[in-house]
Every structure is written in C-alpha cells, then in structure tokens.
Structure 1
Amino acid sequence: MNIDKKKPLLQLTVGEFLDLQKASATEKKYEYGLKGLAKMLGCSRSKASVIKSSGILDDAIVQNGNLIIIDKDKAMQLLTQNKK
C-alpha cells in the first residue's frame, strides 16, 4: 500500500480508502464473560469456567462482580506457558 501521505482524502480511490481502513483497524484485544472466554478457547462455557477457576489465567482476567474482562494476548501467552 503506497499512498502519498500528502494526497487529499477526497482524492483517494475507494480501494485506497478501504486499504487505509484495513491497515488502521486493530483486532479486538479483549473478550468479555465466560462466553467470550469459551469462544476464544473454542470450548464450552462449562470448560471455560473450569479453566478460569484453575487460576492459570488470573493475570489475564479482571473481574468485578459478574463483569469479567479477559486480555486475549495475555491469556494465550499464559496458556502456552502452562502447557502440560
């Protein structure tokens, strides 16, 4: 993607504009709740609950009451470190 940075936005082609959007879009870094953890790990919600309760992901999880926020990158790093 070689777009002249001095080119006015109104002069971009549709393709150039879409390329810029794709380049600036970042992947979602967080999952929420047991459902999000299960989706991230590709398992059932009950298995996600067991994994969360094991303590392996404690450094990647912030919980306040029923609200659970999981840092995806940190969780995957912790899971790979704790392979048996």
Structure 2
Amino acid sequence: MKTYNLNDLLQKHVCAMTGEEFIFLMSNLSVLSDKSINHSTDDEKPRHLVYGIKGIADIFGCSIPTANRIKRSGIIDGAITQVGRKIVIDADLALELAAKAKKQGKEVCA
C-alpha cells in the first residue's frame, strides 16, 4: 500500500479520492485524533442562561422586587446582556460575581 500525506488527503474532497487514498485515510484515524485536528470546544462548559427578572429571582432564590434591586445594584452587570426589554443572564457568572462582591463586603441583596 502506498503512503500518502495526511494533510493533503484532508484537504481533498472524498469524492475526488481514490479507493486506496480513502482506505489509507480511514486506517489512520487514530493518528488524526491524536493530532487534535478536530477543533471542538470540549473544554468549554455549556453556559446556563436564564431570562428576565424572574430568572435573576430564580438564581438567587429571592423575590421579584429583590431581583430588581440586585440588577439595579450593578453587581452582576458582567453577567447581564440586555437589548431593549430582553434580559439574558449567565447564571454561573452572576453567582460568581455576587460571591466576589460579598467577599469584598458589598451587600448583594438589600
């Protein structure tokens, strides 16, 4: 069996490969996975998003008025994306920011 350059084969369309090239490529799948050619983001954990003031209330286990105060305080601004009336909150980041604020002696829930 002839030896082929893996990078050249990866750039080639499957329909343009000969049978021998395709078999060579398939037999070297373990080499391909070792080179981390698959650029997936397995390291990234999925973000837990919540929506609206109700979402903030759910994150912190508080009432809607208290959730409004938390939002207005600016402590979790880094976790909030707001366009018009639509509010999206990264729950994990909001909890992290609130914990940091509490360590610094700032009051999260007034």
Higher relative contact order (CA 8 A, sep 6+): 1
Larger Rg: 2
Cα root mean square deviation, aligned: 1.6
**AA aligned opposite 2:69:** V
Report runs of 4+ in structure 1 exceeding 4 Å deviation: none
Are 2:89 and 1:78 aligned?
A: no
Q: Aligned equivalents of 1:65 and 1:32: distance in 2?
A: 13
> Cα distance, 1:79 vs. partner?
0.5
Matches within 5 A, 1:1-84: 29-83=48-102, 84=105
TM-score by length of 2: 0.50
State the identity %.
44
Q: Aligned equivalents of 2:65 and 2:71: distance in 1?
A: 10
Number of equivalent positions: 59
**AA aligned opposite 1:36:** G
